[in-house]
């Protein structure tokens, strides 16, 4: 078997095993939480018989391992069950239908931030490496270090105060709905997208800069420079193609953050994404929604890291030409 294909299949198998282990941890951790949805809805004055009947109606009286097998089996098919808050009597609210529009909003926000952050960070990193120790390099490094040191909620509040309250360019709240037009959605999601861009661009820019500077000291780069190749062509045609492995890894990590780490940003801007939904579900002890959101976050993180591994493997000449 081709060494690249074999390594990719091994990574995929490890990813599936990791996702299975994470699903067990998610289900177990939420099942062991004190209290429950019945106590939250019925209140402290509810009798044990009332709580038991309520749990039986929701199917929570069965053993945990039975509920886990049923849950993970249905989740593989895209069915996350029914929300507790919508499962009373004959009324049932599907978790998948509840999550779908919120997941779209989160991916929309992540795509906005990524479309700005990825090309900008690659450009700034390459330019900072090209003009190392210049005033441009020092300014870019100072700004990125400052943004790294600030938590995202602080950056969000600063942007709200400056761009929404003082300058009145954007809305302070990014509330959208299913019927919101595309351009209006872009406008309302601008502030959280800018916040997330400022948070992740520093990591990607500095990793790109470090990877290119490390490669610029390689013998084949020095040979290209001795042949008279311009520094911009050296970076574009010689350094960047060999720097994709470390750059792809840090880009994948930050793209995973755009989806997984949006909880704080969505709460600050009241953006109706999956992070905001998860926070609301935790408050109301709606465990099926919490489990589904956590599993989606874990699957996204693992998938993007697998993608980074595959890019690193495919771009490795020693695997492409093992002889």
The alpha-carbon radius of gyration of the chain (Å, integer) is 24
Number of domains making up the chain: 1
As given in the structure block, the two tokens for residue 91 are: 């009324």
Query: How far is Cα of residue 96 from the mean position of the Cα atoms in its chain?
Result: 19
* Helix (H) or strand (E) segment spanning residue 246: helix 240-260
Answer whether residue 149 shows pLDDT above 60. yes
CATH number for 153: 1.10.3720.10
Mean pLDDT value across residues 57-68:
78
Query: Is residue 20 situated within a structural domain?
Result: no
In angstroms, the Cα distances linking 222 to 29, 129, 216, 229 are 54, 15, 7, 10
User: To which residue do tokens 């999601």 refer?
Assistant: 189
The CA distance from 283 to 57, in Å, is 21
User: How do residues 94-145 score in pLDDT, each as one tens digit?
Assistant: 888 889 889 899 999 989 998 998 889 888 888 888 788 888 888 988 888 8
Whole-number pLDDT of residue 56:
77
- pLDDT interval class at 316 (50, 70, 90): low
Answer whether residue 209 shows pLDDT above 60. yes
As given in the structure block, the two tokens for residue 87 are: 């499962």
Query: Is residue 241 situated within a structural domain?
Result: yes
Which percentage of the chain shows pLDDT scores above 90?
Answer: 5
User: How do residues 242-278 score in pLDDT, each as one tens digit?
Assistant: 777 777 777 877 888 787 778 888 888 989 989 888 8
Query: Is residue 261 situated within a structural domain?
Result: yes
Nearest to 16 by CA among 277, 272, 306: 306
Query: Is residue 313 situated within a structural domain?
Result: no
Rounding to the nearest 10 degrees, give the CA dihedral for residues 21, 22, 23, 25. 90
253 CB neighbour count, 10 Å cutoff:
17
Query: Is residue 244 situated within a structural domain?
Result: yes
Query: Is residue 302 situated within a structural domain?
Result: no
The CA distance from 242 to 320, in Å, is 13
Query: Is residue 80 situated within a structural domain?
Result: no
Q: Which residues contact 73 (CB under 8 A, 6 or more apart)?
A: none
User: To which residue do tokens 């520093």 refer?
Assistant: 202
Query: Is residue 257 situated within a structural domain?
Result: yes
**Domain limits at 261?**
107-282
pTM recorded for the entire structure = 0.81
The CA distance from 99 to 95, in Å, is 6
Whole-number pLDDT of residue 63:
80
């Amino acid at each position: 078997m081709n060494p690249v294909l074999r390594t990719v299949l091994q990574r995929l198998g490890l990813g599936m095993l990791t996702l299975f282990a994470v699903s067990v941890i998610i289900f177990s951790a939420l099942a062991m939480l004190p209290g429950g949805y019945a106590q939250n809805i019925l209140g402290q004055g509810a009798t044990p018989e009332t709580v038991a009947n309520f749990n039986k109606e929701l199917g929570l009286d069965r053993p945990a391992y039975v509920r886990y097998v049923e849950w993970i089996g249905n989740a593989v098919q895209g069915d996350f069950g029914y929300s507790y808050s919508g499962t009373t009597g004959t009324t049932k609210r599907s978790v998948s239908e509840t999550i779908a529009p919120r997941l779209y909003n989160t991916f929309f926000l992540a795509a906005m931030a990524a479309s700005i952050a990825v090309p900008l960070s690659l450009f700034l990193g390459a330019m900072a490496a090209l003009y190392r120790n210049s005033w441009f390099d020092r300014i870019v490094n100072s700004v990125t270090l400052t943004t790294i040191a600030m938590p995202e909620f602080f950056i969000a509040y600063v942007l709200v105060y400056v761009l929404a309250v003082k300058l009145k360019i954007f809305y302070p709240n990014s509330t959208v709905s299913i019927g919101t037009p595309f351009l209006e959605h872009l406008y309302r999601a601008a502030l959280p997208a800018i916040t997330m861009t400022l948070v992740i661009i520093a990591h990607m820019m500095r990793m790109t800069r470090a990877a290119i500077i490390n490669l610029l000291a390689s013998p084949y780069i020095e040979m290209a420079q001795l042949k008279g190749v311009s520094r911009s062509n050296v970076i574009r045609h010689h350094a960047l193609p060999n720097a994709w492995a470390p750059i792809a890894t840090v880009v994948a990590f930050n793209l995973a953050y755009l989806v997984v780490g949006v909880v704080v940003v969505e709460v600050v801007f009241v953006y109706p994404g999956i992070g905001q939904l998860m926070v609301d579900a935790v408050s109301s002890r709606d465990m099926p929604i919490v489990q589904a959101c956590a599993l989606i976050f874990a699957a996204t993180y693992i998938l993007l890291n697998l993608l980074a591994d595959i890019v690193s493997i495919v771009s490795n000449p020693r695997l492409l030409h093992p002889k």
